[in-house]
Copies of this chain bind each other. A is one copy, B any other.
Amino acid sequence: MFENSGQTDLSQLGEFGLIELLTKDAKKVQSTTQLGVGDDAAVIDSGDRYTLVSTDMLLEGVHFNLSYAPLKHLGYKSVVVNLSDIYAMNGTPRQITVSIGVSSKFSVEALEEIYAGIHLACDFYQVDLIGGDTTSSKAGLVISVTAIGTVEKDKIAYRSGAKENDLICVTGDLGGAYMGLQVLEREYAVFKGAPSSQPDLEGMDYILERQLKPEAQRGLVQLFEEKGLQPTSMIDVSDGLASELIHLAKASDLGATIYGDKVPVDHVTSQVAEEFKINPTVAALNGGEDYELLFTLPLDSYEKIKDIPEIRMIGHMTEKGSGVYMADQAGNKITLEAQGWNAFKQD
């Protein structure tokens, strides 16, 4: 009944366009609302400090495939992706709520597996599960998590705070989760064709884990604290480096240039990417779900970070209007585009 051809397809707008359209009428009437839609987490003024709130919904058949995603991992991941948004504000997650919709054909034991993963993530990240909702779903499995965190007011890192010449840095390595997904999809396709076949996953543990059981960067906030560093801007890498870098540049009203040879890619990721005839750097730029943190630091932080292995410097912010580029060693620049993830794109 909502499919009249005179209306507008959701896929035409893309996720960000859609959010912009739907939230443009949102007014701010509460004085404690420090920041609403538009960053990794919303920011509420709680007096002494800020409260951070982030929410994400994972749906079967869209965000995960139960044919190869173990339930326990799925519970774990659904927590992690939300905690990542709190860390991306330079905050510390404290509590989560979890709402789950499951088919009534699901067994209690299967649901317990999901919760085992949720509890495991709570333990590891030291957050409390404080509420939620469990209900039946006529269709697939739905998991919606809200994470609540705190941050000292002078420590918060928005997307919008980068300054010209700031160093662009990233944690960990990129593209692994995406290549893990390619391998899982390939083996699943083989399995559907020949159910007795054994999946060919040898040596791929790293990228499979990046996809199925990613971790959020809980150490970075403390590392900043210890080293006396304050990020000027930060975002988590959930949709791919290119998309996130464009977000940072746009929010900070600046340009950005990164160097292709500095983009960190693990050797397993590279190897598998080549097997799939994908340029490893392209996997890092456009593949999502790495949950690393992308951030900027003042130029004079260079001495402090050059010997910290967890932080990789990959470029710098450039003047307003100068565009967002990746440069190679020969000095050639390519314009980065947000391939991001469009949940509404038809397969």
Contact = CB atoms under 8 A, between A and B. Distances in A.
Contacts of A4: 107
Contacts of A297: none
A74 B140 CA distance: 21
A51 interface: yes
A17 to B, nearest CB: 9
A225 B28 CA distance: 25
Residue of A13, A42, A57 with highest tally of chain B CB at under 10 A = A57
Interface of A is mostly: mixed
B101 A3 contact: no
Copies in the complex: 2
B8 A109 contact: yes
A319 interface: no
Interface string A25-36: 111111011011
A15 interface: yes
B26 A101 contact: no
Contacts of A116: 25
A interface, how many residues as a size bin? 35 or more
Contact of A112 (B22, B95, B126, B140): B22
Contacts of A144: 55, 57, 99, 142, 144
A148 B119 CA distance: 23
Contact of A108 (B7, B110, B136, B142): B7
A42 B18 CA distance: 31
A52 to B, nearest CB: 10
Contacts of A60: 138
Contact of A127 (B30, B59, B115, B131): B30
Interface in A301-347: 343-346
A48 B51 contact: no
Interface in A27-67: 27-30, 32-33, 35-37, 41-42, 44, 46-49, 51, 53-57, 59-63, 66
A344 B55 contact: no
Nearest to A93: B30
A120 to B, nearest CB: 10
B343 A136 contact: yes
Contacts of A36: 128-131
A246 B171 CA distance: 52
A42 B144 CA distance: 16
B30 A134 contact: no
A199 interface: no
B30 A95 contact: yes
B104 A10 contact: yes
Contacts of A47: 46-49
A60 B135 CA distance: 12
15 contacts: A2-B105, A3-B107, A10-B104, A10-B107, A18-B134, A32-B150, A42-B130, A44-B94, A53-B95, A55-B131, A59-B138, A60-B138, A61-B138, A139-B140, A144-B144
Would you list the 6 A-B pairs with minimal beta carbon distance, nearest first? Answer: A139-B139, A7-B107, A61-B138, A42-B130, A8-B108, A144-B144
